[in-house]
Amino acid sequence: MKRVAAIFVLFIALNSCTKDNDDVVHTELEGSWVLANASCFCAFGENPDFSTHEINFKGSVLIVQNSGEFQFLKDTAGSYSVDGNVITLKNGAQYKYVIKDKTLELTFVDNPDIADDELLLTYEKY
């Protein structure tokens, strides 16, 4: 009986000490966000409608919807990680993020060797 109890305790201890962060939820990011503005070295014309671009953070998964003329965060849907205030997306792209009230700002961590790759995406939570 002691042997069974010891094996049971060992089993519980090993399963409770996992290093997987797959289920990490970043509550400040959690939810649906619609793009309100994009700032870059791009030409959008007058009064661009960014509202057809939405992102949704569900647990440790990012869902991206690009249904309009403007396409952002291509090939980034899927798992993501957060280190401090930097989000690393599935394709390796990194964005610094700041949340103010119901506004999320994603600033692309640009390559200093590439000119004009700056991008700031401003989302509103809904």
The domain ranges of the chain are: 21-125
Which of the listed CATH numbers 2.40.128.20, 1.10.3230.20, 3.90.260.10, 1.10.357.10 matches domain 21-125?
Answer: 2.40.128.20
What is the residue-level pLDDT of the chain in tens, covering all 126 positions? 666 555 555 555 555 554 444 455 678 999 999 999 999 888 788 889 999 999 999 999 999 999 988 889 999 999 999 999 999 999 999 999 999 999 999 999 987 777 777 899 999 998
Phi/psi class of residue 95: alpha, beta or left (left: φ > 0; alpha: ψ in -120 to 50)? beta
| pTM of the full structure | 0.76
